[in-house]
Amino acid sequence: MKLAITGSAMITCVGNDKAASFAALCRGESGRKALQSFPADKFNVKHAYEIADRPAGRDRTLRTSELLAKAVAAAAAEAKLTSADTRCVVVVGTGLRELRSLELFWTEGQQVSLDQMHFERTLNEILGYALPVITICNACSASNFALALAEDFIQEGSYDRVIVAGCDTITESMFGLLDRVNPLHPDMVQPFERDRKGVLMGDGAAAVVLEAPDRVRDRKAEPLALLAGVGTSCDANHETAPNADGIVRAIEDAYRRAAVQASDLDLLMVHGTGTALNDKTEAIALHQAMGAAACTIPVSAIKSMTGHTSGASGLIGVVAAIETLRQGRLPPTAGFFHPMEEAAHMNIVNVRALDLPSARLAQINAFGFGGVNAVAIVEKLN
């Protein structure tokens, strides 16, 4: 069953809302900045893709929850949800949750209570009414996995509508881990670029409202697009290294659920982390799963401008894809000059946004540690 998307929102380092973010992405703007969250002198890498929302220049607890709540509130407002919509649940996908709050508690003594570590308290305070909140932590594919869970909830009748959200902010411990794991020291994120050096983290949050089409008609809401299907897999091949076969299974599952073929697609939002192994594996898997279509379908890798927003990244890609279908413009891939060997066949959009006025179907990839993969297919309204 196709589900209506009646509201959407995203907050990234290039824009404080959906409109500003998408416009900046289409201009090819990068949100890369000198590191703000903590001192850079301990690290080899000195930059990240952070949202500039620290007026006093000091990090604070519950910042992730605040960004999440802002995105959820914006999507709910666009969908015209109210406190009367009681058969509604929020499903949040995240990789790191409120880890940064714990770091600030231990290192600076900033206060945070145990119940504040769950997103529900802050989210409901900002919404102004109470909704149940379910959080899943499926690494970098978490928010696309949340879409799949939302599909199940609506199709089995557990809820009439689901607010699906994703959020993550940069943490010192994860930043340090990546700083040591990367064999080189990246200065920017360059997906599928021959000379890429690795990944840099970014802040971000996104949300969409999903509903069964008949429920939308009952309350006279205006859909933005349709969620045609979400395919998932968990290959558990390696803690960090991706597996092409697992990615292929997720893509094929998405096509089956959405009742589409690769040749039906009009654009592809790739996972595109800028790391040597992830980009190589994704390119190989796309060729295996999509065949000749992998050579022609326009490709955008927006992490080149937002950085890697971890659990939020999949849903940020979904919101960007919805706007592409609605506005007929596909953002370019920044910092892309020379394709790596495995991606030489791919139609990667660079330099400037591509006009796609007749685009109807979009694929959005999200892959995470441990081989958790989730691929969404979004369809334009007729």
Which residues are catalytically annotated?
140, 271, 308
Distance between CA atoms of residues 219 and 84, nearest Å: 12
Q: What angle do CA 75, 69, 89 make, to 5 degrees?
A: 65
Q: In terms of Cα–Cα distance, which of 273, 292, 290 is closest to 366?
A: 273
**Minimal CA–CA distance to 230: which of 206, 210, 202, 216?**
210
Token reading at 188: 């920017």
Are the beta carbons of 12 and 180 closer than 8 angstroms? Answer: no
If phi over 0 gives left and psi between -120 and 50 gives alpha, with beta otherwise, what is residue 61?
beta
**Main-chain phi, psi angles of 317, to 5 degrees:** -65, -40
Cβ neighbour number for residue 19 with a 10 Å cutoff? 12
Q: How far is CA 55 from CA 37, 103, 104, 251, in A?
A: 12, 20, 17, 42
- Sequence-separated (6 or more) residues with CB below 8 Å from residue 36: 48, 50, 52, 54, 57, 59
CA-closest candidate to residue 294, choices 258, 342, 329: 342
Quickly list DSSP for 203-222. -EEEEEEEE-HHHHHHTT--
